[in-house]
Structure 1
Amino acid sequence: MRKAKILIIEDEKDIIELVQYNLEREGYAVVSVNHGEEAVNIAKRTVPDLIVLDLMLPGVDGLEICRILKQDAKTINIPIIMLTAKSEEADVVVGLQMGADDYVTKPFSPKVLLARIKAHLRRRSAKQVSDEVRTIGDLRIDMPRHKVTYQGKAIELTMIEFKILEFLSRHPGRVFTRDQIMDKVWSEGKFIVDRAVDVHVRGLRKKLKEAADLVETVRGVGYCFKELEEVHD
Protein backbone atom coordinates (compact mmCIF):
# COMPACT_ATOMS: atom_id res chain seq x y z
CA MET A 1 0.00 0.00 0.00
CA ARG A 2 1.37 3.41 -0.99
CA LYS A 3 2.37 5.70 1.86
CA ALA A 4 0.72 9.11 1.86
CA LYS A 5 3.33 11.77 1.13
CA ILE A 6 3.42 14.89 3.32
CA LEU A 7 5.39 18.03 2.43
CA ILE A 8 6.47 20.19 5.39
CA ILE A 9 7.31 23.79 4.50
CA GLU A 10 8.85 25.31 7.63
CA ASP A 11 12.05 27.23 8.41
CA GLU A 12 12.37 26.30 12.11
CA LYS A 13 14.51 23.18 12.41
CA ASP A 14 13.00 22.09 15.75
CA ILE A 15 9.47 22.19 14.36
CA ILE A 16 10.48 20.29 11.22
CA GLU A 17 12.08 17.55 13.31
CA LEU A 18 9.09 17.35 15.67
CA VAL A 19 6.50 17.12 12.89
CA GLN A 20 8.59 14.81 10.72
CA TYR A 21 9.26 12.41 13.61
CA ASN A 22 5.56 12.10 14.47
CA LEU A 23 4.47 11.69 10.86
CA GLU A 24 7.08 9.07 10.02
CA ARG A 25 6.16 7.15 13.17
CA GLU A 26 2.61 6.97 11.77
CA GLY A 27 3.91 5.56 8.49
CA TYR A 28 3.82 8.67 6.29
CA ALA A 29 6.50 9.54 3.74
CA VAL A 30 7.79 13.00 4.62
CA VAL A 31 9.66 15.64 2.63
CA SER A 32 10.70 18.90 4.29
CA VAL A 33 11.91 22.21 2.89
CA ASN A 34 12.77 25.48 4.64
CA HIS A 35 12.69 28.05 1.83
CA GLY A 36 9.69 29.43 -0.03
CA GLU A 37 10.89 29.34 -3.64
CA GLU A 38 12.26 25.82 -3.29
CA ALA A 39 8.99 24.74 -1.64
CA VAL A 40 6.91 25.76 -4.66
CA ASN A 41 9.18 23.84 -7.04
CA ILE A 42 9.13 20.70 -4.88
CA ALA A 43 5.35 20.82 -4.46
CA LYS A 44 4.81 21.05 -8.22
CA ARG A 45 7.36 18.34 -8.95
CA THR A 46 6.34 15.78 -6.32
CA VAL A 47 2.60 16.61 -5.89
CA PRO A 48 2.29 15.49 -2.24
CA ASP A 49 -0.94 14.26 -0.66
CA LEU A 50 -0.93 17.08 1.90
CA ILE A 51 1.14 20.17 2.75
CA VAL A 52 1.94 21.57 6.19
CA LEU A 53 2.79 25.23 5.51
CA ASP A 54 4.33 27.81 7.83
CA LEU A 55 3.23 31.35 6.97
CA MET A 56 6.49 33.09 7.93
CA LEU A 57 9.23 31.91 5.57
CA PRO A 58 12.36 33.36 3.97
CA GLY A 59 12.02 34.21 0.30
CA VAL A 60 8.44 33.57 -0.79
CA ASP A 61 6.13 33.69 2.25
CA GLY A 62 3.46 31.15 3.10
CA LEU A 63 0.52 33.16 1.77
CA GLU A 64 2.18 33.56 -1.62
CA ILE A 65 3.00 29.84 -1.71
CA CYS A 66 -0.64 29.05 -0.94
CA ARG A 67 -1.83 31.40 -3.70
CA ILE A 68 0.56 29.91 -6.27
CA LEU A 69 -0.31 26.29 -5.45
CA LYS A 70 -4.07 26.86 -5.40
CA GLN A 71 -3.91 28.47 -8.84
CA ASP A 72 -1.89 25.67 -10.40
CA ALA A 73 -3.77 22.80 -12.02
CA LYS A 74 -1.30 20.22 -10.68
CA THR A 75 -1.55 21.28 -7.04
CA ILE A 76 -4.99 22.86 -6.66
CA ASN A 77 -6.48 19.85 -4.85
CA ILE A 78 -3.68 19.29 -2.34
CA PRO A 79 -4.94 20.03 1.21
CA ILE A 80 -2.90 22.77 2.91
CA ILE A 81 -2.71 23.11 6.70
CA MET A 82 -1.18 26.41 7.78
CA LEU A 83 1.05 26.75 10.85
CA THR A 84 0.54 30.20 12.34
CA ALA A 85 1.31 32.37 15.35
CA LYS A 86 -1.60 33.95 17.24
CA SER A 87 -0.50 37.37 15.97
CA GLU A 88 -1.05 36.21 12.37
CA GLU A 89 -4.84 35.87 12.66
CA ALA A 90 -5.48 38.27 9.76
CA ASP A 91 -3.12 36.22 7.57
CA VAL A 92 -5.05 33.06 8.48
CA VAL A 93 -8.24 34.61 7.10
CA VAL A 94 -6.45 35.58 3.89
CA GLY A 95 -4.94 32.09 3.61
CA LEU A 96 -8.32 30.41 4.00
CA GLN A 97 -9.79 32.74 1.38
CA MET A 98 -6.96 31.75 -0.97
CA GLY A 99 -7.89 28.10 -0.62
CA ALA A 100 -5.96 26.78 2.40
CA ASP A 101 -7.95 24.03 4.10
CA ASP A 102 -7.10 24.40 7.78
CA TYR A 103 -4.71 25.96 10.29
CA VAL A 104 -3.00 25.10 13.57
CA THR A 105 -1.72 27.80 15.92
CA LYS A 106 1.79 27.66 17.40
CA PRO A 107 2.69 26.33 19.88
CA PHE A 108 0.73 23.24 18.89
CA SER A 109 0.29 19.68 20.06
CA PRO A 110 1.73 17.12 17.60
CA LYS A 111 -1.32 14.95 18.35
CA VAL A 112 -3.68 17.74 17.27
CA LEU A 113 -1.75 18.38 14.05
CA LEU A 114 -1.64 14.65 13.32
CA ALA A 115 -5.40 14.35 13.87
CA ARG A 116 -6.03 17.25 11.47
CA ILE A 117 -3.75 15.68 8.85
CA LYS A 118 -5.51 12.31 9.10
CA ALA A 119 -8.93 13.96 8.81
CA HIS A 120 -7.98 15.85 5.65
CA LEU A 121 -6.40 12.78 4.07
CA ARG A 122 -9.58 10.79 4.76
CA ARG A 123 -11.71 13.50 3.15
CA ARG A 124 -9.43 13.65 0.13
CA SER A 125 -9.52 9.88 -0.28
CA ALA A 126 -13.32 9.83 -0.05
CA LYS A 127 -13.60 12.66 -2.59
CA GLN A 128 -11.32 10.85 -5.04
CA VAL A 129 -13.51 7.74 -4.82
CA SER A 130 -16.74 9.71 -5.30
CA ASP A 131 -15.18 11.57 -8.24
CA GLU A 132 -14.59 8.36 -10.21
CA VAL A 133 -18.09 8.58 -11.71
CA ARG A 134 -19.62 12.04 -11.86
CA THR A 135 -23.23 12.78 -12.76
CA ILE A 136 -24.08 16.40 -13.51
CA GLY A 137 -27.64 16.79 -14.73
CA ASP A 138 -28.02 14.39 -17.67
CA LEU A 139 -24.26 14.18 -18.19
CA ARG A 140 -22.40 11.19 -16.76
CA ILE A 141 -18.59 10.99 -16.76
CA ASP A 142 -17.06 7.61 -15.94
CA MET A 143 -13.41 8.40 -15.15
CA PRO A 144 -11.91 4.86 -14.91
CA ARG A 145 -13.60 3.69 -18.13
CA HIS A 146 -13.11 6.96 -20.01
CA LYS A 147 -16.77 6.96 -20.99
CA VAL A 148 -19.19 9.86 -21.28
CA THR A 149 -22.95 9.64 -21.73
CA TYR A 150 -25.64 12.29 -22.10
CA GLN A 151 -29.26 11.30 -21.45
CA GLY A 152 -28.07 7.70 -21.57
CA LYS A 153 -26.46 7.99 -25.01
CA ALA A 154 -22.71 7.45 -25.40
CA ILE A 155 -20.57 10.38 -26.56
CA GLU A 156 -17.36 9.45 -28.36
CA LEU A 157 -14.55 11.79 -27.32
CA THR A 158 -10.88 11.87 -28.21
CA MET A 159 -8.41 11.36 -25.37
CA ILE A 160 -7.63 15.09 -25.20
CA GLU A 161 -11.32 16.06 -25.25
CA PHE A 162 -12.02 13.61 -22.44
CA LYS A 163 -9.11 14.91 -20.35
CA ILE A 164 -10.30 18.50 -20.76
CA LEU A 165 -13.85 17.56 -19.76
CA GLU A 166 -12.62 15.47 -16.83
CA PHE A 167 -10.34 18.23 -15.55
CA LEU A 168 -12.83 21.10 -15.84
CA SER A 169 -15.70 19.06 -14.38
CA ARG A 170 -13.65 18.31 -11.26
CA HIS A 171 -13.55 22.04 -10.50
CA PRO A 172 -17.01 23.45 -11.33
CA GLY A 173 -17.18 27.23 -11.31
CA ARG A 174 -13.41 27.68 -11.30
CA VAL A 175 -11.84 29.45 -14.28
CA PHE A 176 -8.66 28.03 -15.80
CA THR A 177 -6.37 29.70 -18.30
CA ARG A 178 -5.32 27.93 -21.48
CA ASP A 179 -1.83 27.48 -20.01
CA GLN A 180 -3.25 25.78 -16.91
CA ILE A 181 -5.33 23.44 -19.04
CA MET A 182 -2.32 22.61 -21.22
CA ASP A 183 -0.19 21.86 -18.15
CA LYS A 184 -2.79 19.42 -16.86
CA VAL A 185 -3.92 17.74 -20.08
CA TRP A 186 -0.85 17.44 -22.30
CA SER A 187 2.29 15.44 -21.55
CA GLU A 188 5.32 17.31 -20.27
CA GLY A 189 7.84 18.23 -22.93
CA LYS A 190 5.24 18.30 -25.71
CA PHE A 191 5.08 21.65 -27.49
CA ILE A 192 1.51 22.92 -27.76
CA VAL A 193 0.28 26.38 -28.73
CA ASP A 194 -2.45 27.78 -26.50
CA ARG A 195 -4.95 27.98 -29.38
CA ALA A 196 -4.87 24.18 -29.54
CA VAL A 197 -6.99 24.28 -26.38
CA ASP A 198 -9.63 26.32 -28.24
CA VAL A 199 -9.72 23.78 -31.07
CA HIS A 200 -10.25 20.85 -28.70
CA VAL A 201 -12.86 22.71 -26.65
CA ARG A 202 -14.80 23.47 -29.83
CA GLY A 203 -14.67 19.79 -30.74
CA LEU A 204 -15.78 18.82 -27.23
CA ARG A 205 -18.73 21.22 -27.29
CA LYS A 206 -19.84 20.01 -30.71
CA LYS A 207 -19.99 16.43 -29.44
CA LEU A 208 -21.73 17.40 -26.19
CA LYS A 209 -24.55 19.00 -28.25
CA GLU A 210 -27.32 20.05 -25.81
CA ALA A 211 -24.82 19.87 -22.93
CA ALA A 212 -22.29 22.11 -24.71
CA ASP A 213 -23.09 25.10 -22.49
CA LEU A 214 -21.65 23.22 -19.49
CA VAL A 215 -18.20 24.24 -20.76
CA GLU A 216 -18.18 28.03 -20.55
CA THR A 217 -15.81 30.54 -22.12
CA VAL A 218 -14.58 33.33 -19.87
CA ARG A 219 -13.42 35.99 -22.29
CA GLY A 220 -9.85 37.10 -21.87
CA VAL A 221 -9.14 34.34 -19.32
CA GLY A 222 -9.98 30.79 -20.38
CA TYR A 223 -12.64 28.18 -19.62
CA CYS A 224 -14.68 26.81 -16.75
CA PHE A 225 -17.25 24.09 -16.12
CA LYS A 226 -20.67 25.45 -15.20
CA GLU A 227 -21.46 25.07 -11.52
CA LEU A 228 -24.45 22.73 -11.20
CA GLU A 229 -25.63 20.44 -8.44
CA GLU A 230 -23.93 17.07 -8.75
CA VAL A 231 -26.03 13.90 -8.39
CA HIS A 232 -24.41 11.14 -6.32
CA ASP A 233 -25.24 7.53 -7.09
Structure 2
Amino acid sequence: MTKQRMKILLVDDDEDILEILEYNLVNDGFTVFKAKNGAIAIEVAKKVIPDLILIDVMMPGLDGVETCEQLRGNYDLRNCLIVFLSARGELFTQLAAFSAGADDFINKPIKPKLITAKIKALFRRRIIEEPKDVVFKVSGLTINRDEYAVSVNENKIVLPKKEFELLALLASSPNKIFKRKEILHKVWGDLEVGSRTVDVHITKLRKKIGEDHLKTMSGVGYKFETI
Protein backbone atom coordinates (compact mmCIF):
# COMPACT_ATOMS: atom_id res chain seq x y z
CA MET A 1 0.00 0.00 0.00
CA THR A 2 1.53 3.36 -0.99
CA LYS A 3 1.32 6.50 1.07
CA GLN A 4 -0.87 8.21 -1.53
CA ARG A 5 -3.54 5.54 -1.10
CA MET A 6 -3.59 5.66 2.69
CA LYS A 7 -6.79 7.16 4.07
CA ILE A 8 -6.96 8.87 7.45
CA LEU A 9 -10.13 9.85 9.29
CA LEU A 10 -9.77 12.73 11.77
CA VAL A 11 -12.33 12.88 14.57
CA ASP A 12 -12.46 15.91 16.88
CA ASP A 13 -15.03 18.50 17.90
CA ASP A 14 -12.40 21.24 17.61
CA GLU A 15 -12.48 22.62 14.06
CA ASP A 16 -9.08 24.29 14.45
CA ILE A 17 -7.42 20.98 15.31
CA LEU A 18 -9.10 19.30 12.37
CA GLU A 19 -7.87 21.98 9.99
CA ILE A 20 -4.29 21.92 11.30
CA LEU A 21 -4.05 18.14 11.11
CA GLU A 22 -5.72 18.00 7.72
CA TYR A 23 -3.31 20.58 6.30
CA ASN A 24 -0.22 18.69 7.47
CA LEU A 25 -1.42 15.22 6.51
CA VAL A 26 -2.65 16.25 3.06
CA ASN A 27 0.68 17.98 2.40
CA ASP A 28 2.39 14.72 3.31
CA GLY A 29 0.40 12.79 0.72
CA PHE A 30 -2.44 11.25 2.73
CA THR A 31 -6.13 11.32 1.84
CA VAL A 32 -7.99 12.88 4.76
CA PHE A 33 -11.61 12.69 5.91
CA LYS A 34 -13.07 14.58 8.88
CA ALA A 35 -15.81 14.08 11.45
CA LYS A 36 -16.78 16.37 14.33
CA ASN A 37 -18.20 13.68 16.61
CA GLY A 38 -18.28 9.94 17.21
CA ALA A 39 -21.60 9.23 15.52
CA ILE A 40 -20.52 10.92 12.29
CA ALA A 41 -17.13 9.20 12.50
CA ILE A 42 -18.76 5.76 12.56
CA GLU A 43 -20.83 6.53 9.47
CA VAL A 44 -17.88 7.99 7.57
CA ALA A 45 -15.65 5.08 8.54
CA LYS A 46 -18.18 2.57 7.23
CA LYS A 47 -18.25 4.36 3.87
CA VAL A 48 -14.55 5.07 3.26
CA ILE A 49 -12.87 2.25 5.29
CA PRO A 50 -9.89 4.34 6.41
CA ASP A 51 -6.45 2.90 7.06
CA LEU A 52 -6.16 4.91 10.27
CA ILE A 53 -8.50 6.89 12.52
CA LEU A 54 -7.15 9.67 14.72
CA ILE A 55 -9.77 10.34 17.38
CA ASP A 56 -10.19 12.68 20.33
CA VAL A 57 -11.20 11.18 23.70
CA MET A 58 -13.48 13.93 25.01
CA MET A 59 -16.33 14.66 22.62
CA PRO A 60 -20.04 15.43 23.03
CA GLY A 61 -22.37 12.47 22.60
CA LEU A 62 -20.28 9.38 22.00
CA ASP A 63 -16.85 9.90 23.51
CA GLY A 64 -13.71 8.53 21.88
CA VAL A 65 -13.62 5.30 23.88
CA GLU A 66 -17.26 4.46 23.10
CA THR A 67 -16.71 5.31 19.45
CA CYS A 68 -13.63 3.11 19.32
CA GLU A 69 -15.54 0.16 20.80
CA GLN A 70 -18.21 0.47 18.12
CA LEU A 71 -15.62 0.79 15.36
CA ARG A 72 -13.83 -2.33 16.60
CA GLY A 73 -17.11 -4.21 16.41
CA ASN A 74 -17.34 -3.60 12.65
CA TYR A 75 -15.83 -6.45 10.61
CA ASP A 76 -14.98 -4.18 7.65
CA LEU A 77 -12.83 -2.01 9.93
CA ARG A 78 -10.88 -4.90 11.51
CA ASN A 79 -7.56 -3.80 9.96
CA CYS A 80 -8.00 -0.08 10.67
CA LEU A 81 -5.47 1.49 13.03
CA ILE A 82 -6.98 3.69 15.76
CA VAL A 83 -4.94 6.38 17.49
CA PHE A 84 -6.27 8.47 20.36
CA LEU A 85 -5.51 12.16 20.69
CA SER A 86 -6.31 13.67 24.07
CA ALA A 87 -5.47 16.35 26.61
CA ARG A 88 -6.19 13.74 29.29
CA GLY A 89 -3.06 11.69 29.81
CA GLU A 90 -4.01 9.91 33.04
CA LEU A 91 -3.18 6.23 33.22
CA PHE A 92 -6.83 5.18 33.60
CA THR A 93 -7.76 7.13 30.46
CA GLN A 94 -5.01 5.45 28.46
CA LEU A 95 -5.92 2.01 29.81
CA ALA A 96 -9.56 2.59 28.81
CA ALA A 97 -8.42 3.59 25.32
CA PHE A 98 -6.22 0.53 24.86
CA SER A 99 -8.88 -1.79 26.28
CA ALA A 100 -11.28 -0.40 23.68
CA GLY A 101 -8.83 -1.31 20.92
CA ALA A 102 -6.49 1.66 20.48
CA ASP A 103 -3.16 1.21 18.72
CA ASP A 104 -1.55 4.35 20.09
CA PHE A 105 -2.24 7.33 22.38
CA ILE A 106 -0.91 10.84 21.72
CA ASN A 107 -1.18 13.64 24.25
CA LYS A 108 -2.30 17.16 23.38
CA PRO A 109 -1.30 19.90 22.71
CA ILE A 110 -0.87 18.59 19.20
CA LYS A 111 2.49 18.58 17.45
CA PRO A 112 1.64 17.94 13.77
CA LYS A 113 5.10 16.73 12.75
CA LEU A 114 5.24 14.28 15.66
CA ILE A 115 1.76 12.99 14.86
CA THR A 116 2.71 12.46 11.22
CA ALA A 117 5.88 10.64 12.26
CA LYS A 118 3.92 8.34 14.59
CA ILE A 119 1.37 7.59 11.89
CA LYS A 120 4.13 6.64 9.44
CA ALA A 121 5.75 4.43 12.09
CA LEU A 122 2.46 2.63 12.73
CA PHE A 123 2.00 1.96 9.02
CA ARG A 124 5.58 0.68 8.70
CA ARG A 125 5.18 -1.63 11.69
CA ARG A 126 1.92 -3.02 10.34
CA ILE A 127 3.60 -3.92 7.03
CA ILE A 128 6.73 -5.39 8.66
CA GLU A 129 4.80 -7.48 11.18
CA GLU A 130 2.26 -8.88 8.72
CA PRO A 131 1.66 -12.40 10.10
CA LYS A 132 2.53 -15.45 7.98
CA ASP A 133 -0.20 -17.74 9.32
CA VAL A 134 -3.63 -16.18 9.03
CA VAL A 135 -5.43 -19.03 10.80
CA PHE A 136 -3.89 -21.41 13.31
CA LYS A 137 -5.16 -23.86 15.89
CA VAL A 138 -3.66 -24.81 19.22
CA SER A 139 -5.07 -26.69 22.22
CA GLY A 140 -8.74 -26.19 21.35
CA LEU A 141 -8.30 -22.57 20.24
CA THR A 142 -8.75 -21.38 16.68
CA ILE A 143 -7.25 -17.97 16.00
CA ASN A 144 -7.99 -16.12 12.78
CA ARG A 145 -5.70 -13.12 12.46
CA ASP A 146 -7.44 -11.77 9.36
CA GLU A 147 -10.87 -11.72 10.99
CA TYR A 148 -9.69 -10.98 14.54
CA ALA A 149 -11.73 -14.00 15.57
CA VAL A 150 -11.13 -16.56 18.32
CA SER A 151 -13.01 -19.78 19.00
CA VAL A 152 -12.60 -21.90 22.12
CA ASN A 153 -13.73 -25.48 21.49
CA GLU A 154 -15.73 -24.12 18.52
CA ASN A 155 -17.43 -21.48 20.70
CA LYS A 156 -16.70 -18.04 19.23
CA ILE A 157 -15.63 -15.31 21.64
CA VAL A 158 -15.16 -11.60 21.01
CA LEU A 159 -11.91 -9.92 22.08
CA PRO A 160 -10.85 -6.28 21.92
CA LYS A 161 -7.93 -5.74 19.55
CA LYS A 162 -5.11 -5.65 22.10
CA GLU A 163 -6.40 -8.73 23.94
CA PHE A 164 -6.57 -10.52 20.60
CA GLU A 165 -3.04 -9.48 19.62
CA LEU A 166 -1.69 -10.55 23.03
CA LEU A 167 -3.34 -13.97 22.80
CA ALA A 168 -2.23 -14.43 19.18
CA LEU A 169 1.35 -13.58 20.11
CA LEU A 170 1.54 -16.03 23.03
CA ALA A 171 -0.29 -18.82 21.21
CA SER A 172 1.88 -18.44 18.11
CA SER A 173 4.77 -20.07 20.02
CA PRO A 174 3.28 -22.53 22.52
CA ASN A 175 5.34 -23.08 25.68
CA LYS A 176 7.74 -20.27 24.81
CA ILE A 177 8.24 -17.76 27.61
CA PHE A 178 7.66 -14.21 26.40
CA LYS A 179 9.36 -11.58 28.52
CA ARG A 180 7.30 -8.55 29.51
CA LYS A 181 9.44 -6.17 27.46
CA GLU A 182 9.04 -8.37 24.38
CA ILE A 183 5.26 -8.48 24.84
CA LEU A 184 5.07 -4.71 25.29
CA HIS A 185 7.18 -4.12 22.18
CA LYS A 186 5.29 -6.54 19.92
CA VAL A 187 1.76 -5.70 21.07
CA TRP A 188 2.02 -2.04 22.11
CA GLY A 189 5.03 -0.97 20.05
CA ASP A 190 6.79 2.13 21.31
CA LEU A 191 3.93 3.27 23.53
CA GLU A 192 4.78 4.38 27.03
CA VAL A 193 2.69 1.86 28.94
CA GLY A 194 3.76 -0.06 32.04
CA SER A 195 4.01 -3.80 32.51
CA ARG A 196 0.81 -3.59 34.57
CA THR A 197 -1.00 -3.16 31.25
CA VAL A 198 0.05 -6.69 30.28
CA ASP A 199 -1.20 -8.07 33.62
CA VAL A 200 -4.60 -6.44 33.16
CA HIS A 201 -5.02 -7.89 29.66
CA ILE A 202 -3.89 -11.36 30.79
CA THR A 203 -6.49 -11.29 33.58
CA LYS A 204 -9.23 -10.39 31.11
CA LEU A 205 -8.11 -13.13 28.71
CA ARG A 206 -8.16 -15.76 31.44
CA LYS A 207 -11.76 -14.90 32.23
CA LYS A 208 -12.69 -15.42 28.58
CA ILE A 209 -10.65 -18.46 27.50
CA GLY A 210 -10.10 -20.15 30.87
CA GLU A 211 -7.24 -20.44 33.34
CA ASP A 212 -5.44 -23.44 31.83
CA HIS A 213 -3.40 -21.92 29.03
CA LEU A 214 -1.98 -18.55 30.10
CA LYS A 215 0.76 -19.15 32.65
CA THR A 216 2.63 -16.55 34.67
CA MET A 217 6.38 -17.05 34.88
CA SER A 218 7.19 -15.14 38.05
CA GLY A 219 9.58 -12.26 37.50
CA VAL A 220 9.92 -13.04 33.79
CA GLY A 221 6.69 -12.90 31.76
CA TYR A 222 4.04 -15.20 30.36
CA LYS A 223 3.64 -18.26 28.15
CA PHE A 224 0.85 -20.12 26.40
CA GLU A 225 0.95 -23.67 27.76
CA THR A 226 -0.49 -26.53 25.74
CA ILE A 227 -2.58 -29.13 27.54
Q: TM-score, with normalisation over the residues of structure 1?
A: 0.59
Moved more, 76-85 or 10-19: 76-85
Identity among equivalent positions (%) equals 32
Pairing of 1:4-19 with structure 2 (within 5 A): 4-19=6-21
1:169 aligned partner: 144
CA contact (8 A) 2:78 2:148 kept: no
1:217 aligned partner: 154
Unaligned runs of 5+ residues in structure 1 are: 139-164, 177-214
2:102 aligned partner: 100
Cα deviations by residue, 1:114-144 (Å, 9 ceiling, x for unpaired): 111001111222344x44x658479xxxxxx
CA contact (8 A) 2:134 2:146 kept: no
1:229 equivalent in alignment to 2:172: yes
Aligned residues: 161
Q: Distance in 2 between matches of 1:35 and 1:136?
A: 38
Unaligned runs of 5+ residues in structure 2 are: 159-163, 175-227
Pairing of 1:43-192 with structure 2 (within 5 A): 43-86=45-88, 89-128=91-130, 130-131=131-132, 134=134, 136=136, 169-170=144-145, 174-175=149-150
CA contact (8 A) 1:9 1:35 kept: yes
CA contact (8 A) 1:137 1:230 kept: no
Aligned match for 1:3, one of 5, 10, 18: 5
Cα deviations by residue, 1:71-113 (Å, 9 ceiling, x for unpaired): 2221122111101113654222101112101111110211111
Instruction: Specify whether residues 55 and 88 from structure 1 end up closer, same or farther in structure 2 by C-alpha distance, changes over 3 A only.
Output: farther
Q: Distance in 1 between matches of 2:54 and 2:147?
A: 26
Cα deviations by residue, 1:153-201 (Å, 9 ceiling, x for unpaired): xxxxxxxxxxxx9xx621588448xxxxxxxxxxxxxxxxxxxxxxxxx
Q: Distance in 1 between matches of 2:88 and 2:98?
A: 15
CA contact (8 A) 1:135 1:230 kept: no
